[in-house]
Amino acid sequence: MLKINNLHARIGEKEILKGINLEVKAGEVHAIMGPNGSGKSTLASVLAGREDYEVSAGSVEFLGKDLLELSPENRAREGLFLAFQYPVEIPGVTTINFLKTAVNEIRKYRGEAAMDAVSFLKMMREKSQLVEIDQALLSRSLNEGFSGGEKKRNEVFQMAMLEPKLAILDETDSGLDIDALRIVASGVNKLKSPQNATIVVTHYQRLLDYIVPDFVHVLWNGRIVKSGTKELALELEEKGYDWIKAEAIS
């Protein structure tokens, strides 16, 4: 589904991604871990098409297409979803209205007719139950005045509504209490299918108790310096990142 090959990205003169290699297949869950500032959000942003970053080398293939050639909106329409580490507020635009626009834009791209209001509301109701988000929240301005946890839950709700092929969750767990974490994780699990894939970016192993990854990668200093299975996450929890840094340097 996703093939990242020797990806380098910079902002201004500063190189942040220094040769990322990663392959994600349909049905898989990958976790990307690593200390603060190692480039996790940058990787997510570059995949989503943020213009601030310049891709200086490498290639990314997504569902057989050259991802880097696509505009950010077309990446989304092709099925790539990013749950933002810091979701943005849009005053005066309700989540409902925002998602109706998004859903219909994506459908248009795929040559499907716009969704009528009744089916849309029905889908809203189902998906909001799935991620246990309060309906009242969805009639409010997008993310405006939401608590940290509400914002994150709204990200997962949007993911449920847009049914992406590849979802990247950037620290969706941070700022959540344990109950919220459980709800969000169970939402993500319910959305899992053999046809789609998930990349979970996280700091903490505790999320991986709920969303069990097939692979765990450690990103440090712009490179994936170690990959393994879920046991690697436990090891990191126990020993921290220093041994990996030491390993990477030597």
Partner 1 sequence: MSKETEILEEITGSEYKYGFTTDIETETLAAGLSEETVKFISAKKNEPAWMLEWRLAAFALWKTMTPPQWQNLSIPEINFQDIIYYAAPKQKKVVNSLDDIDPELRRTFEKLGISLTEQKLLSGVAVDAVIDSVSIATTFKSKLAELGVIFCSMSEAIENHPELIRKYLGSVVPVKDNYYSALNSAVFSDGSFCFIPKGVRCPMELSTYFRINTANTGQFERTLIVCEDDAYVSYLEGCTAPTRDENQLHAAVVELVAMENAHIKYSTVQNWYPGNKEGKGGIYNFVTKRGICMGDKSRISWTQVETGSAITWKYPSVILKGNGSVGEFYSVAVTNNFQQADTGTKMIHIGKDTRSRIVSKGISAGKSQNSYRGLVQVMKRADNARNFSQCDSLLLGNLCGAHTFPYLEVENPSAQVEHEATTSKIGEDQIFYCNQRGISTEDAVALIVNGYAKEVLNQLPMEFAVEAQKLLAISLEGSVG
Question: What is d(CA 106, CA 100) in angstroms, rounded to the nearest whole number?
Answer: 10
Query: Among Mg ion, ligand ADP, partner 1, none, what binds residue 99 when CB lies within 5 to 8 Å by partner kind?
Result: partner 1
Nearer to Mg ion, 46 or 99 (CB): 46
Question: What is d(CA 198, CA 174) in angstroms, rounded to the nearest whole number?
Answer: 17
Question: What is d(CA 79, CA 64) in angstroms, rounded to the nearest whole number?
Answer: 12
Instruction: Dihedral sign for Cα 228, 234, 237, 240, please.
Output: negative
Nearer to ligand ADP, 17 or 183 (CB): 17
Nearest Cα neighbor of 33 from 178, 159, 207, 250 is 207
Tokens of 107: 């459908």
Among 16, 31, 76, 200, binds partner 1 (CB under 8 A): 76
Q: Does the protein bind partner 1 through residue 87 (CB under 8 A)?
A: yes
Nearest Cα neighbor of 43 from 77, 9, 84 is 9
Query: Among Mg ion, ligand ADP, partner 1, none, what binds residue 39 when CB lies within 5 to 8 Å by partner kind?
Result: ligand ADP
Interaction site with Mg ion (CB under 5 A) = 40-41, 85
Nearest Cα neighbor of 133 from 124, 141, 142 is 124
Among 23, 52, 66, 69, binds ligand ADP (CB under 6 A): 52
Adjacency order of strands within the sheet including 166-170: 80-83, 166-170, 197-201, 29-33, 215-220, 223-228
Nearer to Mg ion, 42 or 128 (CB): 42
Tokens of 67: 């991802």
Nearer to Mg ion, 40 or 226 (CB): 40
Among 26, 55, 102, 130, binds partner 1 (CB under 8 A): 102
Among 66, 69, 73, 237, binds partner 1 (CB under 8 A): 73
Stretch that binds ligand ADP, among 36-44, 109-117, 184-192, 207-215 (CB under 6 A): 36-44
**Per-residue contact string for residues 143-182; x = within reach of partner 1 by CB under 8 A:** ---------------x---x--------------------
Bridge pairing between strands 65-66 and 54-62: antiparallel
How many Å is the Cα radius of gyration of the chain? 18
Number of H helices, E strands in the chain: 9, 12
Stretch that binds ligand ADP, among 37-45, 138-146, 156-164, 191-199 (CB under 6 A): 37-45
Which DSSP symbol is given to 23?
A: E
SS3 163: coil
Residues contributing to the site for partner 1 (CB under 8 A): 48-51, 71-73, 75-77, 81-82, 84, 87-93, 97-99, 101-102, 105-106, 109, 141, 158, 162
Contacts with ligand ADP by CB under 6 A lie at 11, 14, 16, 34, 36-42, 52
